[in-house]
Amino acid sequence: MCGVIGFNWDDKTLLKKLSNIIEHRGPDDVALYTDRHYSLGMRRLAILDLKKGLYPIYNESETILTVFNGELYNYKKIRAELIKLGHKFKTDCDAEIIPHAYEEYGPLFVNKINGMFAICLYDLVKKKLFLFRDRLGIKPLYYYSEGKRFAFCSEIKALLVIPKFQKEINESALNNYFTFRYVPGEDSIFSKIKKVLPGHYLEFDGKIKIKKYWDLHFSKNNNSLEKNAIYVKNLLEHSVKRRLMSDVPLGAYLSGGLDSSAIVALMSKHSNNVNTFNVSFSDSEFDESKYAQIVADEFNTNHEVIDVDVNAIDTLPKVAYHLDEPLADAATIPTYLMSQQTKKKVTVVLSGEGSDELFAGYERYRHMNAAFKFKHVPKFIRNIPSKIKSDNIVFNRGKEVLSKLDKPKDAFLSYFTFFNDKDKKLLYSKNINKKNYDLNEYFGKSIFNSMLKLDVKERLPGNMLLKNDKMTMAASLEARVPFLDHELVEFSSKIPFNQKITLFKDKLVYRESIKKIVPKIIYKRKKTGFTVPTSAWVKEGLKDHLFDLVEQNKEPYLNKNYIKKISDKVHKHFYYKRQFWSILMYEQWYNEFMVKR
């Protein structure tokens, strides 16, 4: 697990500078390469073949080299295949298959890989550079292009120090941040920096070409719920087993919920020494440590409870710095602190991201399922609630959804976003580019599959996986996500939606798949999610902290009076709490990257 960097000119001094900025991603080793065409480098966090896995790694003739961030879980199988074809290897490091596989199969070798990765491959003969990002976007990969200059990195912050780089906010990305609470798609918050999209690769030979190598297609198999559950259990177990490969200590985050408990249960089946970590809050409303302890006792893990009671004001600047972009997810704070403590015991940790996106575990799936039961009701009847005036936010949003059922995309946005068009008119202090992110490719005949695909392809890489990667790598800790093995993801897209949720139950097929492997009390628990005490943090000074940031930043886009209005309402409803947190994280980000640096 590492960080990659590079640009298309020769400058060793700059390369070292960029490398030092992302040292936290790989403190164990550094590798740098320069010629008159490219400067490439990486930081290494040693996981496999600790002594020999040194970078850059070449093919036999040293005409192809790679720097790499990630893990290739099926590399031994591909390595054996390449050896049969006459290729010779110097290490037992997973990355060494990359130049050989490219030499044998071309850039579509990436289809053979099962793993998480951000790969840079340099063909010295063709003077062509390739950047590959894994199918689900587990690992980040950014690039900068201006004139003839091209650069890339695992983190935005390193690109900002490139000489003559001008920091300009992408207004449409900012607008979309306040719609989704993260920046979706290929854009970043900076106008001149983009992301390589999940399931895509980039070719550069003076010009940029972007190509898609993977996509997720929803259909419906004819299996019974019981048969699909067996497949899910087997695929998940195989995924967990793959992710146990390591030459360093390994563990798992254990919340006591269904997802982390299933991962720990399957880990314990294939390992006699499982380390588990649970985050604890003193506020009992948010503390799930007793359930985590039940699972730890059941599977005899080496369990540690991490107390993350914290002054959020002190932690926010560090979190914002490592995120690189504004991200309105309060769970970044405990994830960051938990990672710092976990690193003291292990270097690799498994976590449960992705299950809710695959198997419809969020309330919004059931809520939208219920709303769309009214789609065939005549529109004049559906619009009756719209004539009722109310100050209740939930009621008013419900009215919006019902009035837009003929346009599923608009109905979804009315439900999902915490800043609608009316709110944004008050939020912005000046006219900005309000181009909305195009969701048309996601919304087809089935609103439910549309939501699932949107979550897998946008919300996961833009929010959940971004948080997971940046907060763990800030502590030089590798996070692996068994639910996002692409084979399991692809199979989940073939499971009928009515085997995932009903009006009153969620994740049916998944619950059936793990029923016999987790403790009964865990199986029967209602979903709680990773909740954090944001209300307590606001009372402890976050509101004043936000006002201080607004005064320091003199940020040009947001209306200070509206920010104060939202802040005064933050305790009245979770809707205002989400608005408050979105503004807070943007202002904190602005302070870190537009004011301090």
**Burial class of residue 302 in the structure, from the number of CB atoms within 10 Å of its CB (0-12 exposed, 13-18 middle, 19+ buried):** middle
User: Which of 2, 93, 120, 153 is the catalytic position?
Assistant: 2
Q: What is the DSSP letter of 187?
A: B
- Cβ(24)–Cβ(154) below 8 Å: no
Rounded to the nearest angstrom, the gap between the alpha carbon of residue 249 and the centroid of all alpha carbons in its chain is: 24
Q: What is the DSSP letter of 162?
A: S
The DSSP code sequence of 493-536 is TTS-GGGT--SS---HHHHHHHTTTS-HHHHTPPP--S---HHH
Spatial separation of the C-alpha atoms in residues 341 and 347, rounded to whole Å:
11
What is the end-to-end Cα distance of the chain in Å, rounded?
A: 27
Q: SS3 for 285?
A: coil
- What's the helix, strand, coil split of the chain in %, to 5? 45, 15, 40
Spatial separation of the C-alpha atoms in residues 542 and 124, rounded to whole Å:
52
- Cβ(287)–Cβ(307) below 8 Å: no
Q: Looking at this protein, which amino acid is placed at residue 420?
A: N
Instruction: Estimate the crossing angle of helix 408-416 against helix 393-403, to 10 degrees.
Output: 170
Give the ranges where 255-325 is alpha helix by DSSP (H). Answer: 258-270, 289-299, 312-323
Q: Which residues of 360-384 are buried (b: 16+ CB within 10 A; e: fewer)?
A: bbbeebbebbebbeeeeeeeeebee
- Cβ(210)–Cβ(189) below 8 Å: no
- Cβ(8)–Cβ(128) below 8 Å: no
Spatial CA neighbour of 267 closest among 469, 100, 472, 480? 480
- Cβ(480)–Cβ(350) below 8 Å: yes
Residues 6+ apart with CB under 8 A from 487: 114, 235, 238, 239
User: Across the beta sheet with 478-480, what order do the strands follow?
Assistant: 302-307, 275-280, 250-253, 348-350, 478-480
User: Across the beta sheet with 29-34, what order do the strands follow?
Assistant: 29-34, 39-44, 2-7, 149-153, 142-146, 193-195
Provide φ and ψ at 190, rounded to 5°. -100, 135
Residues in the chain, overall count: 597
Give the ranges where 307-374 is alpha helix by DSSP (H). Answer: 312-323, 332-342, 355-359, 363-371
CA dihedral sign, ordered 90, 91, 97, 99: negative
Could you give the dihedral angle defined by the CA atoms of residues 348, 349, 355 and 356, in that order, rounded to the nearest 10 degrees? Answer: -120
Active site residue 2: yes
Catalytic residue list: 2
